[in-house]
Structure 1
């Protein structure tokens, strides 16, 4: 292996969060130490076509440059080849084209375990959660079931799929109204960045919101409204994960939706959050428990509600591939915890390599002979 670590950055993708991924990739490319790393970009179009360009030696001039829409970009088969040339003896020169993959994909086909399975098949180290943790972290319904098993407190919720809704929507409307009341939040089960999320204040809005959420997934989850502060914690590590100081979000809109997160830049962040020390420690401990419950690795951002009238803590969700945009909480919370951006990237690369090395100890042949 050469003196520099070759990192393949994968971004874009077939997802409603495609543009968010581009922002994340642009930010990350600008923070890598190019004296230590060679960066090879892999762009996935909204149609799922893979493209790759030359090795980067400096940050691209603009987000638009990340799309490889003209000139010199190889496509799908050729672009995928560098990820698989480590199999069956390696590339022609005996070395892989990339030493580790850093997926910067958000949402469907990016943080749901599908592309993680591709990297597993290629037997290549990659940053972040594995197949299981990614899938559970992406599916809010399965995530909440795991949290319940772990004994983590959470808001009341109900869920159903498209077939169930079409067969008996009146039953599920009644169930939501009795168990949750209004207002309530309606979300696609498998998506992030608040895409497809609505707040309903009455039955008419509930029905409209459910139908809207079904545009993005075949399963929908409905959650009770809690008048609460929104607290977030960054988690970093593999088996011995650690939590950052908590941060607090105050949304610029009625709730922390896509516009508030990525567009207007008016939502405020307080890092560290103004919390009693025992409350902060409880939240940090619960964040690590949630990370371990889904078998997380590398990184996650864990989101909580802190109910205003009694300071009751509720876990909301785990995000296994949080954003690294200028407005993103994950790197900002670690910066406040004493881990600057470049060191954070170094650590994530090292964690990916360590996890991969550990997995090589597993006997996948099924040969029971000793």
Structure 2
């Protein structure tokens, strides 16, 4: 293929949160210096820019390992074959936006440190949200998952990265159809819950989505599904897809209304928002927030809800957040 003229790029990627470490274009020289194993996967693209082949699962995994080592102090990061290797910049955006939500309740100051406790529903084999949330804000995490193989992989990441041991607890969900039941214990309190729910409603739908994504990356029709970011069945699809999963989450969250300040979840499909808002109304959520997110051409949003009244919110903050001062307040400059 004939080389295209070198393309002028904006200095920052559009849409990412102001504190996201990945707003700039990837500096491959720095990443390779930190993680030399990335070097064989970096090549010049058609515009003569350094890049990787994002349709190649091995290249994507190596890029993520380099990012996690360079920015988040993760020395060893190995995932079982087929498990989701999530794109780091988008996952970081969730953590920064949800931190701003906490800050908005706290006079613009994000509460930091291990006393802030977060439940990651479906932590997966990759532990990505606890890794980022702990590095950026010092929060402690409980990660739950219904897949024993995912929990074992997550345990290995914790064991291989000593600084995670005191800030991340992993719990196997004993009943695959439950979300909070069996995980949130009696007299246990979480300042927030996060979740990246299964997107698709069937394996066939998941494979079709992968084919569309790869076809766009390759600029040609791809007929064999290959998951460049990986993903086993339970990570990618469940019966009823994202819509039914989140409806179940909302229904179950009502039973833990006084145990959690903010519940939250990603909503990838805007068409699901109507049913999500209906479910929140039926559950009698006191307050609902929708936080838009954008990463390149990908548009999504976080939906967060609480059952605490304004008075109960003030009591929660006074009991749990007083003195947890952040050097970076909500909406502040990049780190």
Q: Which of the pair has more CA radius of gyration?
A: 1
Q: Identify, as 1 or 2, the structure richer in helix.
A: 2
TM-score higher than 0.5: no
Q: Identify, as 1 or 2, the structure richer in strand.
A: 1
Q: Which has the higher contact order (CA 8 A, sep 6+)?
A: 2
